[in-house]
Amino acid sequence: MSQVTMKVKVGKLESLTDNPTHYCAGCEHGTLTRLIAAAVDELGLREKTVMIDSVGCSVLAYNYLNFDHIVAAHGRAPAVAAGLKRVRPELNVFTVQGDGDAVAIGLLELIYAAKRNTPITVFLVNNGIYGMTGGQMAPTTLTGQVTTTTPYGRDPALTGTELDASKLLASFDGAAYVKRASLVVTELASPRGTVYTIKNLLDAKKTVENAFKVQMLGGFAFVELLSTCSINWKMPVLDAKRFANEYMVKKYPLGLYTDTFGVEKK
């Protein structure tokens, strides 16, 4: 029998509201919400933090995270964040965006925020699909993957191959921090059967903190977080985790791409 075990710090985070989230079973958006709240609390940034909510599954984050929010148009979150940060440089401004939002319709806004090293933080939740609109192909959808707009599998002859956002942003001067981490628990064989470890989540937690630290140091921080979407992938939750760990990571290897300030070593 499978069992999911996870140690979480019990106690109220000031940056979290009491509202239950709307996220689907097995979705990592809730995990990221909590990691962000923990990082903001630990860094003492809550009272000067503004989140730019983006169109996609994170659009309702203003119900869950207890600080100021602006809800941006599809793809425009980095531009809105930049506009705010430039007139209120004392603030801690960040976006949480999906792959459809940041890598398709909002790619220009993302690229130029990085190119100018705009002191904001962008979290990209890469689950390889448009979640909120019901499972259409994203630029990150794996070759051959079935979505509602690639019902026979993604055909690279027609749609090109996967777009690697971290590699793209690391390919030019600009962003102070580019890292790909994962929010997906991993399986581990044990004598008692399969168990799940939160190794990835511990690294993601550290990464989220670092991404805020980079902004405080005056640089642009980009964190891509691999996630699942069991509902739209049409897989049971644990199968979706397995799919992410076996197939997605091969296309999107985890790791640090750029760290100008050396925050990972500190």
Partner 1 sequence: MAKQRVYLKGNEALAYGALEAGLNAYFAYPITPSSEIPETLAKEFGTGRYPEYKFFLQAASELEAINMVLGAASGGARAMTATSSPGFSLKQEGLSYAACMELPFLIADICRAGPGLGNLGPEQSDYFQSTKGGGHGDYRLFVLAPASVQEMALFPRIAFDLAFKYRNPALILGDAFTGQLKEDVEFPEFTPPKYDVSSWATTGAKGRAPHVLNSLELDYQKHYKHIGRIFEKYKQAEANEVRFEEYQMEDAEKVIVAFGIVARIAKGVVNKLRSKGVKVGLFRPITLWPFPKVALKKLASEGKQFLDVELNTGQMLQDVKLAVGDSVTVDFLGKWGGIVPTEAEIEKKLHHLEVVAV
Residues that bind partner 1 (CB under 8 A): 46-50, 52-53, 59, 62, 66-73, 76, 79-88, 90-91, 108-109, 111-112
Contact 221, 212 (CB under 8 A): yes
Q: How far is the CB of 32 from partner 1 (least distance, A)?
A: 19
Nearer to partner 1, 115 or 206 (CB): 115
Which candidate, 156, 78, 89, places its Cα nearest to that of 124?
Answer: 78
Nearer to partner 1, 59 or 104 (CB): 59
Nearer to partner 1, 69 or 167 (CB): 69
Q: How far is the CB of 49 from partner 1 (least distance, A)?
A: 7
Q: How far is the CB of 15 from partner 1 (least distance, A)?
A: 10
**CA 200 to each of CA 95, 96, 98, 142, 186: distance values in angstroms, whole numbers, following the listed order:** 21, 19, 19, 21, 7
Q: How far is the CB of 19 from partner 1 (least distance, A)?
A: 12
Q: How far is the CB of 185 from partner 1 (least distance, A)?
A: 31
Sort 41 into a burial class: Cβ within 10 Å, 0-12 / 13-18 / 19+: middle
Q: How far is the CB of 82 from partner 1 (least distance, A)?
A: 6
Nearer to partner 1, 62 or 196 (CB): 62
What is the sign, positive or negative, of the torsion defined by CA atoms of 17, 128, 208, 185? positive
The token pair that represents 22 in the structure block = 């709307």
180 — phi, psi (to 5°)? Answer: -110, 125
Cite the DSSP H helix spans in 75-173.
77-87, 99, 107-115, 156-159, 165-170
Nearer to partner 1, 72 or 240 (CB): 72
Sort 255 into a burial class: Cβ within 10 Å, 0-12 / 13-18 / 19+: exposed
Nearer to partner 1, 62 or 257 (CB): 62
Helix, strand, or coil (residue 238): helix
Instruction: Give DSSP secondary structure letters for 38-64.
Output: HHHHHTT-GGGEEEEE-SSTTTTGGGT
Nearer to partner 1, 116 or 199 (CB): 116
Task: Say which DSSP state 162 is in.
Answer: -
Q: How far is the CB of 196 from partner 1 (least distance, A)?
A: 34
